[in-house]
Amino acid sequence: MGSKNHESVWQNCLKIIKDNVNQQSFKTWFEPIESVKLDEDILTIQVPSQFFYEWLEEHYVTLLRKTIKRELGNNARLEYRIIVENSSGNNSPFTIEYPNYNTGNNKNPEVAAPLVMGNTIKNPFVIPGLKKVNIESGLNANYNFDSFIEGDCNRLCRSAGYAVAQKPGGTAFNPLVLYGGVGLGKTHLAQAIGNEVKQHFPNKTVLYTNAERFTNQFIEGLKNNSVNDFVHFYQLIDVLIIDDIHFFAGKAKTQDIFFHIFNHLHQESKQIILTSDRPPRDLEGVEERLLSRFKWGLSADLQSPDFETRVAILEKKMYADGIELPKDVVEFVAYNITNNVRELEGALVSLLAQASLNKKQIDLDLAKKIVKNFVKNMSREVSIDFIQKAVCDYFEVPVDKLREKTRKRAIVQARQLSMYLSKNFTKNSLKSIGKHFGGRDHSTVIHSCQAIQNLMDTDSKFKESVDDLTKKIQLSIS
């Protein structure tokens, strides 16, 4: 070793470690460590507690392995001296040999039962009888930010979720509560956050579960007298994602145990992400002390997607599956399935299945038959593109002129009438209608509708033209 001693070796290790962890983590988990001795290739360090040892083993094993090898070579080993407080109040050191770095088998587990002297804490996700210790994070890799379509209906949720994923536990959004109706993407977004954290912070433990599974694990813990192990396990998670917390309603003991886990994680700046079918204030049967903590961070709602977002969702899925559909079919599906993204994608799958099994061409007629299975009272609506074409054919003007800034009277009148009919026959917002006419704003749409109404009131011949066009559009959707 030459002139190397335990202090210089550990100081060199700390310099490397400091460059690989954030300042707060270094101050919390590495500054309190003292080097004790160096015996050939074995460095002994002293840590303040058993929990301290477990934390290092759980979260920084890979970094420690690489650092000690760099300083002492491939045969390097690390031993811990742990200060254990005995019943008389005296502190005495206890030495534990760290796993041998030569084996190469000590992977930093994604989520694992911690290594503990004496009785091992039970992992509630391990099936009895199996020797498997590690568990998967429970995340679906297909749920990521790239596959989550952003729109006005979910922009706040997505932005907050992305901020959390970039700095888990380090934002004001802790906890992050995502709420909304069935099939609006709560689970997708929550898991997207988890997957993003795993990608950028591989040393952090991420766990996704749902409230029902959490409750069942707690009940098992009560039956097996292992509640402390259950609590300790969840307290070691860096990013905890619990789906459907409304399931906790009326379960007082489960709420009590989750309250303690929540407090510990929050105090340790661990990230908590929750989903619910309603906002925290409307959760009945949940204790007020829990509700108040849910309000500490951000509660963001996912609303029903608007038309443009629904079209984008369908097009994204079509692109992912490598298929193409006629534009009028896509718009028809998007127009009629309005409240549930899951049903929207389900309709697309059914449409493809019917066309494939029955060897039918995918057209509007087939789409109408399929959509009827998803919508009880199918809305009768046409697309803005259809209305534009109908108006332009009637007045014999090119459709593309409606999007230009020309002030020719015939074009302006056709544009205004198209806006008027779009407002009457579609569910699009004024802003959305304006986008279809060269990006005009909502005030232009309002002005156009008023201009058409005034013209109809003063020009009977023009009113006949509008009535004629209205009948044609009504016939096309009957």
pLDDT tens, residue by residue, 416-455 = 999 999 988 887 888 889 888 988 988 899 999 999 998 8
Instruction: Name which of 150, 148, 175, 149 is nearest 164 in CA terms.
Output: 175
pTM comes to 0.53
**Which of 89-98, 135-144, 290-299 is predicted most confidently?**
290-299
Question: Residue 165's pLDDT band (boundaries 50, 70, 90)?
Answer: very high
Spatial separation of the C-alpha atoms in residues 407 and 199, rounded to whole Å: 53
**Amino acid (1-letter code) at residue 133:** V
Mean pLDDT throughout 243-260? Answer: 91
Measured CA distances, 266 to 50, 164, 271, 306 (Å): 21, 14, 7, 35
List the structure tokens of 276. Answer: 């619910």
Mean pLDDT throughout 98-122? Answer: 38
List the structure tokens of 311. Answer: 């079209």
Spatial separation of the C-alpha atoms in residues 326 and 332, rounded to whole Å: 10
Spatial separation of the C-alpha atoms in residues 340 and 178, rounded to whole Å: 16
* Per-residue pLDDT at 305 exceeds 50: yes
> Can you give the pLDDT at residue 376?
52
**Amino acid (1-letter code) at residue 455:** L
Contact (CB, 8 A) for 291 and 281: yes
Domains and CATH numbers, the chain: 6-97 (3.30.300.180), 155-302 (3.40.50.300), 307-371 (1.10.8.60), 384-476 (1.10.1750.10)
* Per-residue pLDDT at 189 exceeds 90: yes
**Amino acid (1-letter code) at residue 134:** N
* Per-residue pLDDT at 279 exceeds 70: yes
Percent of the chain beyond pLDDT 70?
A: 84
Greater confidence (328 vs 252) lies with 252
List the structure tokens of 123. Answer: 């992992």
* Per-residue pLDDT at 355 exceeds 50: yes
Contact (CB, 8 A) for 98 and 68: no
> Can you give the pLDDT at residue 74?
85
Greater confidence (359 vs 420) lies with 420
> Can you give the pLDDT at residue 41?
83
pLDDT in tens, 402-420: 888 888 888 999 999 999 9
Going by the DSSP 8-state scheme, the letter that residue 310 receives in this structure is H
Greater confidence (82 vs 407) lies with 407
Mean pLDDT throughout 188-212? Answer: 92
> Can you give the pLDDT at residue 123?
65
> Can you give the pLDDT at residue 425?
83
**Among positive and negative, which fits the CA dihedral 103, 105, 107, 109?**
negative
* Per-residue pLDDT at 54 exceeds 80: no
